[in-house]
Chain A
Amino acid sequence: SAVISQKPSRDICQRGTSLTIQCQVDSQVTMMFWYRQQPGQSLTLIATANQGSEATYESGFVIDKFPISRPNLTFSTLTVSNMSPEDSSIYLCSVEDHRGRQFFGPGTRLTVL
């Protein structure tokens, strides 16, 4: 299984600012995913990030609000832009192996004041 790390593990931010979350994988992977988990809720997919192409966003999520970079096969970033308290969530990245199994990072717990 892949080992995934995320930075930061948690942050408290002010309304109107932006935060960039990093996701690092210990092996090369084609597909990376970004999820959001709001308090008391299940996970919701934000976007799929493929190396060398634009990220594909799910309904309700837009690139201006959640820009994603995928510069190589082991790294991705998700930026939460112009934050509001409604953006307070846990943000998780995941990767998929050749058997369709997904492995998740530990998550970034974001609180927006």
Chain B
Amino acid sequence: DAKTTQPPSMDCAEGRAANLPCNHSTISGNEYVYWYRQIHSQGPQYIIHGLKNNETNEMASLIITEDRKSSTLILPHATLRDTAVYYCIVRPSNSNSGYALNFGKGTSLLVTP
């Protein structure tokens, strides 16, 4: 699997957009970018994923650069409950193929009042 690089921590003011970057310069053509987060003492939660086009859902937006070597997760209006560790993961395939997730250290996002 391609490896990812994320900043270890970030702060964001409540109500502002949180932009979490991820570098995945060795990503392969068939690998997707997945984002998960883990709120303290809970299991990880799926947020969003994409291949090359930008994606948006009710939780967040995902912006992938044209060369696919980096991406940004955007939480448009961060709340205190968005305080969590955010993981950017690349993995092959977008199917039920049973590829386990390779969690790195992630970015610890602190949303402040």
Query: Contact partner of B100 among A30, A33, A107, CB < 8 A?
Result: A33
Q: How far is the CA of A99 from the CA of B94 in the complex (A)?
A: 5
Q: How far is the CA of A33 from the CA of B36 in the complex (A)?
A: 16
Q: How far is the CA of A13 from the CA of B87 in the complex (A)?
A: 31
- Which B residues lie within 8 Å of A107 (CB)? 41-43
User: How big is the B interface, by class?
Assistant: 20 to 34
Query: Contact partner of A100 among B36, B41, B42, B96, CB < 8 A?
Result: B96
Do residues B49 and A100 form an inter-chain contact, with CB atoms below 8 A?
yes
- Beyond A43-B44, A43-B103, A105-B43, whether A98 also contacts B98 by CB under 8 A is no
Majority DSSP secondary structure for residues of B touching A: loop
Do residues B98 and A48 form an inter-chain contact, with CB atoms below 8 A?
yes
Chain B nearest CB, measured from A4 CB (Å): 8
- Beyond A42-B105, A96-B96, whether A1 also contacts B46 by CB under 8 A is yes
Beta-carbon nearest neighbor of B45 in chain A: A104
| Chain A 76-113 interface mask (CB, 8 Å, partner B; 1/0) | 00000000000000001010111111111111000000
